[in-house]
Amino acid sequence: MRHRYSILFFPLHVIVDFLSLNAAFVGAYILKFQAVEPVAEPPYASLWVVFNIVWLVEILLLKPYIFPRQLFKADHLVKKLLILMAIHIAVISIYWVAVKGYYFSREHLLVTYLLFTSLAVAFRLGGLVFLKEYRARGYNNRRYVIVGYGKLAVSIQRFYDAHPEMGFRFLGYFDEPSSENQHLLRGNYDDLPAHIQQEGIDCVYCCMPYIDNGRLKKIVEEAESVDYQVKLLVDFRGFLARGASVEYHDFLPVLNVSSQMLADFQVNTLKRLFDILFSLAALGLGMPMLIILAIITKITSSGPIFYAQERIGQGGKPFKIYKFRSMYVDSERSGPVLSGGLLDDRITPWGRFMRKTRLDEMPQFYNVLIGDMSVVGPRPERQYFIDQIVEIAPEYRSLLKVKPGITSIGQIKYGYAANIDEMVQRLRYDLLYPRRRSFLFDMWIIAQTLRVMAQGRGK
């Protein structure tokens, strides 16, 4: 009989949690009052009963012990437990207020939840370690076959081979034989039903690029009578990397593979709110420093205080970027030229200091405030250089999907670029940002930028 012990996991989980809950309740009472008999008497007897009823209702409604093997991980188990605990605490708090049970010891309740959490987490982690080891040894496994041979089929097999703790045992590929795959197949489509019956197959993975709808329909129709699962594998990896999303038209799922970035609330709203607040703070609190920088820039070399230049922003839209002038006037008479680093003789002595400390970038908080830029994001470039970069690294176009920033990973790790090759090298760092951007990641980049400014290591 397949998985004859698997059916025991659910009741065992329920029983252990109830034992842990009650042991914690009684144990906390003993620790608080140094007695055990009164816990079964009013008023604590009623609270004890409510504790168990609330937990039982949670189990019946939320079904917290039902999850696939792929999600049988420590973080998933603990997360579900903490959600259950939070709901339980909320309901008990409502009960406490409803019955005006102010005579219940808060310390007892706190210790109860701490003990219960400790016991429940210990059981889950212990059970997780045991089951992973048990399944890695070949027990309690699920047998599967893959229908339709190709790269996607090989990928799913390698995934389970690399994770024996999940307990999936591979029993062959099935497809129409060809010169490329016939030595790898266990059989063809006609051999599949007999193999499922003979080997007790639990799951049939069907690779959509390699199987037609007629054969798929037949496999699905036979699944109920023979008792096996059918799972579809569709290779969306290339699309999802570009920010695809799934839309539902009634019951029909539609994959949106537009290259447009998803309208993410966190990015479009929270990030913009942070940019505005941070820029206002930087311009407001930094106004005395801005005035001093402006005065020194004016008296150390002839020319305007600020330098404005056209850059390309989000979606290829041009905008004017503002900096404190760090070069002598008319440094690009013959056309666009990249800075040759801090040793470039076009840079003024004062400008060299501002570049090392990144103080020349301060006026760009105005660009952030009006929405052209963000505090954190890939550095914007001129169209003249973008055209040359794209010839070498076409992936640069992906950076135009996000708003450019004052500081970036490339600025921290690489700094100013003196030629196209160096711009491409810096690009390798900035390409990490669209995939990893988050509030915490932005905070890390800002902290690293402040460190570079304080140490004067800008280059």
Which domains are seen in the chain, by residue range? 6-136 (no CATH), 142-235 (3.40.50.720), 265-455 (no CATH)
Rounded to whole angstroms, the Cα distance separating 347 from 341 reads: 9
Residue 297 pLDDT:
92
146, 207 contact by CB (below 8 A)? yes
339, 346 contact by CB (below 8 A)? yes
Between the alpha carbon of residue 234 and those of residues 156, 172, 237, 317, the distances in Å are 11, 19, 9, 36
53, 95 contact by CB (below 8 A)? no
Place of tokens 């999936």: 168
Of the candidates 429, 431, 420, the residue with the CA atom closest to the CA atom of residue 398:
431
Tokens (6 digits) for 357 = 């400390």
Of the candidates 35, 45, 29, 40, the residue with the CA atom closest to the CA atom of residue 116:
29
Backbone angles phi, psi at 184, to 5 degrees: -105, -15
* Burial (CB count within 10 angstroms: exposed 0-12, middle 13-18, buried 19+), residue 343: exposed
Question: Number of H helices and number of E strands within the chain?
Answer: 18, 11
Rounded to whole angstroms, the Cα distance separating 237 from 243 reads: 10
Residue 396 pLDDT:
83
Beta-carbon neighbour count of residue 364 at 10 Å?
Answer: 23
Query: pTM of this prediction?
Result: 0.46
Beta-carbon neighbour count of residue 17 at 10 Å?
Answer: 22
Residue 459 pLDDT:
55
Residue 249 pLDDT:
55
Q: What is the pLDDT along the chain (459 residues), one digit of tens a residue?
A: 455 555 667 788 889 999 999 999 999 999 999 999 899 998 899 999 999 999 999 988 888 876 666 666 788 888 889 999 999 999 999 998 888 888 889 999 999 999 999 999 999 899 888 887 887 787 878 899 999 888 888 888 888 888 888 888 899 999 988 887 778 888 888 899 999 999 889 899 998 877 888 888 889 888 878 888 898 887 665 554 445 556 655 556 666 655 444 445 556 678 888 899 999 999 998 899 999 999 999 999 988 999 999 999 988 899 999 999 988 887 766 556 666 555 677 889 998 898 888 888 999 999 999 999 999 988 898 888 888 888 888 888 888 888 999 988 888 887 777 778 888 888 878 888 877 777 788 888 888 888 877 776 655
Q: What are all long-range contacts of 120-123, with beta carbons under 8 Å and residues at least 24 apart?
A: 120/17, 120/20, 120/81, 121/78, 121/81, 123/16, 123/17, 123/20
Peptide bond into 43 cis (omega under 30): yes
Under DSSP, is residue 436 helix (H, G, I), strand (E, B) or coil? helix
368, 375 contact by CB (below 8 A)? yes
374, 404 contact by CB (below 8 A)? yes
Angle among Cα 360, 366, 368 to the nearest 5 degrees reads 105
Residue 263 pLDDT:
46
Cα–chain center distance at 331: 45
DSSP string, 294-326: HHHHHHHSSS-SEEEEEEE-GGG-EEEEEEE--
